[in-house]
Amino acid sequence: MLLLANIKKELLLLSRDRAGLLVLFVMPMLLVLVLSLVQDDIFRATGEAASRALFANLDRGTLGEALGDALEQSGDIELVRQIDEVPLNADSARRAVFNGDYQFAIVIPEQFSSNITAAAEATVQASIRNETNRLHGSQMVVYFDPIVRGVYRTSVMNALQRGVSGLEFAEKGKALGHLMPEAFQRRLDEEFAAYGEPSPELDLPEISDAWARQALIQLEEESAYPPTYTTVPTSVQQNVPAWTLFGMFFIVLPLAGTLIRERQEGTLLRLMTMQVGNLSLLLGKVLAHMFICLVQFGLMLAVGMFLLPLLGTPVLELGSAPFALLLVATSAALAACGYGIVVGVLARSYEQVSTFGAVSVVIAAALGGVMVPVYMMPRAMQNLSVVSPLGWGLNAFLDIFVRGGNLASVLPRVVALGSFFLLCMLFAVLAFRRWRRGG
């Protein structure tokens, strides 16, 4: 009965604090909305969709255009060949990158085709004669915006390297196609000349260059998870659970704040003179705030499923384990509320709560992969990330949303979150008892 009275009182207090409710529901919703949209673009840039690059083709031959076509066909780079309907040149491309309008510009020089053709022939010729080729091919410049991170540079350079290699093979194949028969004929002329006989005219077939273009090894990308579930990890799949957890853990502020306010107003002191147990008081707060966390969670899922797609993002897929999802959400909410109670019991002012509580949640979120996926972190930080309850929660959500996880696969993380909650409660009750005894 006392626990119910405490839960009811907490919910009543929360319902009267409209500004607080606004923060609790609107802030995480905005976080999910804005960050999913912002990071949707980053997800696309890091491989899900083509990177955009300026393409200034000054080549007088056909190879520059052939390279451009090959890059576009690869799907890795989307080429922009003109700005404001004016074809690009080296200066305008460089300026556009310098101004930050574009992140990359590829400039194909005027003699690109002729230089490559000459270099390919020279290379093949030198090989046939067993000599060293001293003729270098063409240079091609790629301008980068200096703020562009390594991962994007690598992605663009790899795509470019693949395009250039294909072109080189094709040109070398072409050179081989007509230089090889010439070499045969020359050798035949020399052999017959030794006997004073004219050599026969060989009708050797010209070797097609198609062989150079044909790939011998096909790389196939396949998820390591069972083929029964085929959800592709998108920005929404990563961001909605990540920022929802972040929002849920911000319950620390209002929850710890209620304890501080009760101390300041004297209500806690009054309660201490009554026959109410420490656990009942603290658990009442935890359960009321856990309810708020679960409402938050439901709201954020609705944002991911219905609102974000209206703004152009993929739909949030919830997986096929609703009970496991509810269990993860509940254990994450309990962990967040347990932490809030500990902060509330230990803090002596609202300033301490708002500073320590907020900063510690941001750190735990960063470590847990909310802001940057854990696999992208340096090794040392990846090792540290295992201590973050937000990381446990996020992994469990991703397990269900993306990897086709079920109750069995998320259970270890649910147990970890539950244990974290129990540990927090134990610590909070002990600290609270000490405070109640005037320690």
Q: Which residues bind another protein (CB under 8 A)?
A: 1-2, 5-6, 8-9, 12-13, 16-17, 265-267, 269-276, 437-438
Q: Which of 305, 291, 317 is nearest to 397 (CA)?
A: 317
- Beta strands per DSSP E along 81-205: 82-83, 86-87, 104-108, 141-144
> In whole angstroms, how close is the CB of 439 to another protein at the nearest point?
8
Q: How many C-beta atoms lie closer than 10 Å to residue 62's C-beta?
A: 11
- Closer Cβ to another protein, 284 or 368, answer by number: 284
CA atoms within 13 A on the CB side of 329: 24
> In whole angstroms, how close is the CB of 277 to another protein at the nearest point?
10
- Closer Cβ to another protein, 196 or 266, answer by number: 266
> In whole angstroms, how close is the CB of 14 to another protein at the nearest point?
10
- Closer Cβ to another protein, 150 or 266, answer by number: 266
Q: For the purposes of burial, counting CB atoms within 10 Å of the CB of 260, is it exposed (0-12), middle (13-18) or buried (19 or more)?
A: buried
> In whole angstroms, how close is the CB of 431 to another protein at the nearest point?
16
> In whole angstroms, how close is the CB of 356 to another protein at the nearest point?
23
- Beta strands per DSSP E along 200-345: none
Residue 78: phi and psi, rounded to 5, are -105, 120
- Closer Cβ to another protein, 73 or 264, answer by number: 264
- Closer Cβ to another protein, 158 or 264, answer by number: 264
Determine the Cα–Cα distance for residues 370 and 363; give it in Å rounded to an integer: 10
CA atoms within 13 A on the CB side of 158: 13
Q: Using the 8-state DSSP alphabet, how is residue 134 labeled?
A: -
Q: Which of 334, 243, 353 is nearest to 291 (CA)?
A: 334
Q: How many C-beta atoms lie closer than 10 Å to residue 265's C-beta?
A: 10
- Closer Cβ to another protein, 7 or 159, answer by number: 7
- Closer Cβ to another protein, 18 or 134, answer by number: 18
> In whole angstroms, how close is the CB of 257 to another protein at the nearest point?
13
> In whole angstroms, how close is the CB of 383 to another protein at the nearest point?
40
Q: Which residues pair with 53 in a beta bridge?
A: 79
